[in-house]
Amino acid sequence: MTKNNKLIPLMGAPERNPGLTRREMLVRTAVGGGLMVGFALPGLDKLGQAQAATATSNLTAWITIGSDETVTLLVPITEMGQGTMTGLATLVADQLQVDWSKIKVQHAPVDAAHGGANANIYGFRFTGGSLGIRLTAQMLQQTAANARQMLINTAALKWGVSPSACAIRSVQDPVLGTITQVYCITGTTTYTASYGSLAGAAAAGTAVTNAALLSGGKYAGATASPPRVDIPDKITGAAKFGIDIWAPGMLFAAVKHCPTNGGTVGSVGSTPAGAVAVVKVGGNGASTATGVVAVAATTWDAMKAVKALAVNWTLPIDAASRDTAAITSRANTLMASGSALTAQSTGSVAAGMLATGAVAISSTYQLPYLAHAALEPLNCTVRYTPATASTPARCEVWAPTQAPDSVLATATSMCPAGAVVTVVNTLVGSGFGRKFEMDFIVEALQVGLACPGKLVKLTWPREQDFSNDQFRPMALTRVTAAATPDGTITAWNNRIVTPSIANQRSSSPTTPPTSVDSEAVHGAVSRSGYADAGLPYNVPNSLVEWVWHDAPIRVGYWRSVGMSFNTFAVECAIDELAAAIHMDPFTFRQKNLAETRLGPVLSALRTLSNWDTTPAAGRARGVAIAAGFGSFIGQVAEISVNATTGAVTVYRVSAVLDCGTAMHRDAIKGQIEGAVAQALSPTLWAQQTFVNGVAQATNYNRYRPAKLQDMPQVAVQIIEGGGLGGVGELGMPCVAPAIANAYARLAAQGQLVAGLPITRKRSLPFFPGTTLGGL
Amino acid sequence: MASTLTLNVNGLNYTATVSDPSMPLLWVLRDVLGLTGTKYGCGIEVCGACTVLINGQREHSCVYDVSSAVGQQIVTIEGLSADADGQKVQKAWTDKQVPQCGYCQPGMMMVCTGSIKAGHHGNEIASDMNHICMCGTYPRIKAAIQGL
């Protein structure tokens, strides 16, 4: 059973939003990083790149066909586990009608032909926002159709027949297995030629730009997904991540930053034994360096040397405000009296609160900073070759990056004028948003430039990776809302205190910001103004406010970004409202849905999660829903709480999602399973905290990830509601509120969750179901 | 002080010069020998990404002195395809489509192989797999080891 794949809808290209979206911020940041210019890639080493098939021909910028009949797709999306390489390959295999065994996928070269406006409509090649498939599927599907037509035209020309007399078919080759050939019929004669035999002439022939798409392929959207293209190398050790760049005689480097967040390098002691060089890095030059790097014969030697290196750090004057207790206290002050920017205002909240029979709740939720904790530590490899009388300087960069165009721009701006800059986009050992940043790239370039002629790999020791993250922002968020006993939400006030990623990224930040950071309210405001995500409910009387928190801790994009805290607050508050009017949480959600595609999701989830059956003794279920990344999801968690220890056990998470056309069902399922696992950690155990600027979680032993033994059963059901939505971040936002809502339903606890990780408890002045005279 | 050692890795003898005989095996494999399949994740025996087999036993190479590995039979992910148990693990990982980013999987597969060599099956293997996968491939790992 296959699905018609002919329509990759135009709506896959996300709509522009009136606010400054994350994507636009990404683009602005990249452009702000320097002029992006394309470079040819003369003699780019194959280091870190997959071997190409012999005698390959570039039919389009994105597709090469080898004499061995393999088709290689070059993708402008970084593979970091999400499966985009495989998802995109299904479209190409279907348009070329090539057997899956002949499909190979690599990251595209980082150059003008595969970056900027050629990479996507934003004019900046990046991986994030759950946009990989949405930004590139249509383009790559079309380019594959074009390649097919070029092969057909080439065959027709060869035999002097009309292309309409030609078609393609699969045949069995005794050596190569299933291959695809063009066949042309004229009179009683049938000519045949394989793709591989035609590819050279086709590449040299006339390009086709708008070939008709084939429908009804075998792979895209298939019920039984084809196997992932990246797995064979990942089970043999052959897969090369950024950290695996290696050549004999290369050098290795390790960094340390000021233990106090925001500190800079004062004076540095003598070069320790075992190090061949010490380099100040970060900042805008040596005077404001934020770290020191030791370069040595191995990473171990470099780590030992940098540890031994004496540094007089200059502490930031605001060290005392880089402190979790101070930040929390400041957040409470801002919640009470900070000036807010209005993200959404409809009707009258005051009037809604006073609606006849309305019952009100008011709940405040506190969420901490989170680390990305990607298992491949930050790293980057550079080789700077100075110019000679006859050759220009060369800067070569190998980067596990989510933003290859930014790496190219950064390297171009840092390397000597006129240097030939090449960037290789390696595999990424998980990123979650952290590998979008340039800090580790800048440091590696500084080290490489200080070691001319040498290949040097900079690795951040794990402790540096945890302590110097660009963290998921903390948030303090309060929902005050009311509903009438018939289940109608009559008032909705959400006040969100959180730092601004956009403001910190800006090259000219406004303090305080004068416009709403769309990520700060991501998932908390209705979708009319924010096409990619929205508050799922009708709230005719609403006020959603953002109060900027001025904490100086660096923040960044973390899987699902603002929805990671906003969906938590919204979905916990919705459950509290439902409880206050004694209504079933599913029914209450259904009744107030603004996002109509969540209706079928909720219905299917009710069945999948066995919602209407009684859980085993001591267990409870909780539900949460979200509209985000162009997709829709609902999740139910079934949990118990140990009465003695308070430890939460999660038995099962049921998830129903509508991501529109499901390109590769197994990868989608994997993304939801993985998001559940990743979300368990900050829901139940992990957070980053600071004491006088010093990060307290410095390794996985102090930042507990889920392990195999913690993993609940995960059931995933996919609904295809049309269009094309994102999946990478979709599974994240609902896990914590579903667990928290289950926690609240366990009568023995009798307390709601007031924040994450879920250890905190509170008693509420308004709970349960206190009728208010007005607010 | 620098010393030159001979290591047997995946059936081949390698000569390695290291600055310090207490250097962890992980860094000798990765940086001196260029066998980069074995991964650095935490350096403190928590994540398991650096797991190798030494004489068939699961060991964290991030804290295993290279001098102690001299004269031992070291197997890394690069040697898994030549090991009968390793082949079973590779097939199970393929059948269940386990890896996402793949960074933890060398360690996962080495500990699974070592567990099989210790005579463990199914749930016994699961209890040995106390490793970190930040992508959350655990449901598939569970499925993959059920038949082993």
Write the secondary structure of A106-174 as one string of H (helix), E (strand) and C (coil): EECCCCHHHCHHHCCCCCCCCCCCCCHHHHHHHHHHHHHHHHHHHHHHHHHHHHCCCHHHEEEEEEEEC
What is the Cα–Cα distance from A374 to B30, expressed in whole angstroms? 19
Pairing of strands A394-399, A420-425: parallel
Q: Nearest CB to A375: which of B18, B126, B134?
A: B134
pLDDT score recorded for residue A531 = 63
pLDDT score recorded for residue A194 = 98
Distance from CA of A250 to the nearest CA of B (A): 9
**Alpha-carbon A204 to chain mean position:** 38
pLDDT score recorded for residue A26 = 43
Furthest-apart CA pair in chain B: how many Å? 48
Average confidence (pLDDT) over A162-188 = 97
**Alpha-carbon A621 to chain mean position:** 28
Average confidence (pLDDT) over A144-166 = 97
Q: Across the interface, do B138 and A708 touch by the CB < 8 Å criterion? A: yes
Q: What letter represents residue B48's amino acid?
A: G
Return the bridge partners of B3, or none. B18
Chain segment A461-476, per-residue pLDDT in tens: 999 999 999 999 999 9
Q: Nearest CB to A666: which of B93, B97, B105?
A: B97
What is the Cα–Cα distance from A277 to A453, expressed in whole angstroms? 14
Q: Nearest CB to A375: which of B93, B103, B126?
A: B103
Cβ-contact A355, A490 below 8 angstroms? yes
- Res. A745 pLDDT band, cuts 50 70 90: confident
Q: What is the DSSP letter of A196?
A: H
Q: What letter represents residue A175's amino acid?
A: V
Query: Residue A315 phi/psi, 5° resolution?
Result: -75, 150
Q: Nearest CB to B44: which of A236, A377, A699?
A: A699
* Distance between start and end Cα atoms, chain A: 57
Chain segment A381-417, per-residue pLDDT in tens: 999 999 999 999 999 999 999 999 999 999 999 999 9
Structure tokens at A578: 């439902």
- Judging contacts by C-beta atoms under 8 Å, the chain B residues touching residue A429 are 39, 101-103
Q: What percent of chain A has pLDDT over 70?
A: 89
What is the Cα–Cα distance from B42 to B14, expressed in whole angstroms? 26
Q: Does B122 lie at the interface with A, CB-CB under 8 angstroms?
A: no
Average confidence (pLDDT) over A409-428 = 97
Q: What is the DSSP letter of A97?
A: T
3-class secondary structure, A15: coil
Choosing among B5, B20, B31, which should be mutated to test the A contact, i.e. which has the most A CBs within 10 A? B31
Q: Across the interface, do A377 and B41 touch by the CB < 8 Å criterion? A: yes
Residue A720 has a CB neighbour count (10 Å cut-off) of: 15
* Residue A48 pLDDT exceeds 90: no
Return the bridge partners of A624, or none. A635
Cβ-contact A676, A652 below 8 angstroms? no
Distance from CA of B30 to the nearest CA of A (A): 8
Chain segment B12-50, per-residue pLDDT in tens: 999 999 999 999 999 999 999 999 999 999 999 999 999
B residues 33-72 lying closer than 8 A (beta carbon) to A: 34-44, 46-47, 49
State the Cα torsion A438-A443-A444-A446 to the nearest 10°: 120
Cα distances (Å, whole numbers) of residue B2 to A265, A319, B16, B17: 31, 42, 10, 7
Q: Across the interface, do B39 and A674 touch by the CB < 8 Å criterion? A: no
Distance from CA of A221 to the nearest CA of B (A): 17
Q: What is the DSSP letter of A435?
A: G
* Residue A9 pLDDT exceeds 90: no
State the Cα torsion A572-A578-A581-A583 to the nearest 10°: -150
pLDDT score recorded for residue A22 = 54
What are the start-end ranges of the H helices in chain B?
25-27, 66-69, 84-95, 105-117, 122-128, 138-146
Q: Across the interface, do A373 and B134 touch by the CB < 8 Å criterion? A: yes
* Residue B55 pLDDT exceeds 70: yes
Chain segment A316-334, per-residue pLDDT in tens: 999 999 999 999 999 999 9
Residue A157 has a CB neighbour count (10 Å cut-off) of: 14
Lowest-pLDDT range, A171-175, A669-673, A748-752?
Answer: A748-752
- Judging contacts by C-beta atoms under 8 Å, the chain A residues touching residue B38 are 237
Q: Residue A607 contacts by C-beta under 8 Å, 6 or more apart in sequence? A: none
* Residue B100 pLDDT exceeds 80: yes
Pairing of strands A420-425, A359-367: unpaired
Q: Across the interface, do B39 and A705 touch by the CB < 8 Å criterion? A: no
Q: What percent of chain A has pLDDT over 90?
A: 85
Average confidence (pLDDT) over A94-108 = 98
Q: Nearest CB to A237: which of B18, B37, B101?
A: B37
* Distance between start and end Cα atoms, chain B: 45
Q: Residue A158 contacts by C-beta under 8 Å, 6 or more apart in sequence? A: A191, A193, A198, A201
pLDDT score recorded for residue B137 = 98
Closest-CA residue of A relative to B65 is: A300
Q: Nearest CB to A462: which of B26, B43, B142?
A: B43
Beta strands in A629-712 (DSSP E): 631-641, 648-658, 690-691, 694-695
Q: Nearest CB to B134: which of A427, A678, A711?
A: A678
Q: Across the interface, do B101 and A252 touch by the CB < 8 Å criterion? A: no
Q: What share of residues in chain B are helix, strand, coil (percent, to 5)? A: 40, 20, 40
Q: Across the interface, do A375 and B140 touch by the CB < 8 Å criterion? A: no
pLDDT score recorded for residue A753 = 76
What is the Cα–Cα distance from A675 to A560, expressed in whole angstroms? 10
Average confidence (pLDDT) over A648-660 = 97
Q: Residue A348 contacts by C-beta under 8 Å, 6 or more apart in sequence? A: A541
Lowest-pLDDT range, A48-62, A334-348, B114-128?
Answer: A48-62
Closest-CA residue of A relative to B31 is: A298
Cβ-contact A253, A447 below 8 angstroms? yes
**Alpha-carbon B21 to chain mean position:** 21
Average confidence (pLDDT) over A14-37 = 37
pLDDT score recorded for residue A423 = 98
B residues 67-96 lying closer than 8 A (beta carbon) to A: 76-78, 80-81, 90, 93-94
Chain mean pLDDT for chain A: 90
Distance from CA of A543 to the nearest CA of B (A): 37
- Res. A286 pLDDT band, cuts 50 70 90: low
Choosing among A127, A235, A700, which should be mutated to test the B contact, i.e. which has the most B CBs within 10 A? A235
Residue A510 has a CB neighbour count (10 Å cut-off) of: 11
Lowest-pLDDT range, A400-414, A501-515, B89-103, B114-128?
Answer: A501-515
Cβ-Cβ pairs closer than 8 A, A with B, add up to 190
Q: Residue A10 contacts by C-beta under 8 Å, 6 or more apart in sequence? A: A138
Which of A730, A729, A717, A668 lies closest to A221 in space, CA to CA?
Answer: A668
Q: Does B128 lie at the interface with A, CB-CB under 8 angstroms?
A: no
Distance from CA of B145 to the nearest CA of A (A): 12
- Judging contacts by C-beta atoms under 8 Å, the chain B residues touching residue A714 are 139
Cα distances (Å, whole numbers) of residue B121 to A174, A747, B53, B146: 40, 40, 18, 8
* Residue A766 pLDDT exceeds 50: no
- Judging contacts by C-beta atoms under 8 Å, the chain A residues touching residue B136 are 673-678, 706, 711
Structure tokens at B143: 């499925």
Cβ-contact B75, B52 below 8 angstroms? yes
Return the bridge partners of A380, or none. A458
Query: Residue A718 phi/psi, 5° resolution?
Result: -110, 130
Q: Across the interface, do B142 and A708 touch by the CB < 8 Å criterion? A: yes
Query: Residue A499 phi/psi, 5° resolution?
Result: -65, 170
Q: Which helix (H) or strand (E) holds B132?
A: none
What is the Cα–Cα distance from A746 to A620, expressed in whole angstroms? 6
Which of A247, A250, A229 lies closest to A239 in space, CA to CA?
Answer: A229
Q: What percent of chain B has pLDDT over 70?
A: 99
Structure tokens at A592: 């107030």
* Residue A20 pLDDT exceeds 90: no
Whole-prediction pTM: 0.93
Cβ-contact A523, A733 below 8 angstroms? yes
Q: Does B106 lie at the interface with A, CB-CB under 8 angstroms?
A: yes
What is the Cα–Cα distance from B148 to B142, expressed in whole angstroms? 10
- Given the structure tokens 């934003």, which residue do they identify? A122
- Judging contacts by C-beta atoms under 8 Å, the chain B residues touching residue A428 are 101
Structure tokens at A15: 């709509």
What is the Cα–Cα distance from A376 to A774, expressed in whole angstroms? 53
What is the Cα–Cα distance from A498 to A187, expressed in whole angstroms? 74
Q: Residue A743 contacts by C-beta under 8 Å, 6 or more apart in sequence? A: A620, A622, A639, A641, A648, A749, A752, A753, A758
- Please state whether the peptide bond connecting residue A377 to the residue before it is cis, i.e. omega within 30 degrees of 0: no
- Res. A288 pLDDT band, cuts 50 70 90: confident
What is the Cα–Cα distance from A589 to A730, expressed in whole angstroms? 19
Sheet with A619-628, side-by-side order of all strands: A619-628, A631-641, A648-658, A713-719
Q: Across the interface, do A227 and B131 touch by the CB < 8 Å criterion? A: no
Closest-CA residue of B relative to A305 is: B19
What's the CA angle centered on B71, arms B70 and B72, to 5 degrees? 95
- Judging contacts by C-beta atoms under 8 Å, the chain A residues touching residue B90 are 235-236
Q: Across the interface, do A461 and B43 touch by the CB < 8 Å criterion? A: yes
